[in-house]
Amino acid sequence: MQKYLLEENMSSGQSSIPRAVGRNKARKLKENEELAFQEEMASSFRLIEEQNAIVVEERKRKHKEQAKQIQEDNNRNMERDTTNYTSMGKKGNYDPTGIVSTSDYTPTTITNEDHYY
């Protein structure tokens, strides 16, 4: 599909009659349109690049906030009161020497009926 450009002839003494634009002028108009299009595309790409940079910065900020929150949570967990706990679990039959008292231990014997095959 070929585009035809028309120009009005405005010479004195002649009526206003549309005529085809010359090849050179048409080529120059086309070049100007292409240049304008390229500039518009470049501008659009710059805008997209700026928006992407903003998104990246926002993600970095959120990541730092999450890392900071995790660190604060870990610090709180480390600072919790551990006086009700021992190395063996909750307070109970505990000897400060680290040996669990066996006073609650009741030995059992195995009978023939206890065997499972």
> How sure is the predictor about 65, in pLDDT bands with cuts at 50, 70 and 90?
very high
Please name which of 106, 89, 107 lies closest in space to residue 98, comparing C-alpha atoms.
89
What's the one-letter identity of residue 38?
Q
pLDDT of residue 76 exceeding 50: yes
For residue 36, give both structure tokens. Answer: 């304008």
Q: Give per-residue burial for 34-70: e unless 16+ CB within 10 Å, then b.
A: eeeeeeeeeeeeeeeeeeeeeeeeeeeeeeeeeeeee
pLDDT of residue 103: 58
User: If you average pLDDT over residues 67-94, what whole number do you get?
Assistant: 72
User: If you average pLDDT over residues 61-90, what whole number do you get?
Assistant: 79
Q: What is the pLDDT of residues 1-20, one digit of tens each?
A: 455 555 555 555 556 677 77
pLDDT of residue 54: 97
pLDDT of residue 26 exceeding 70: yes
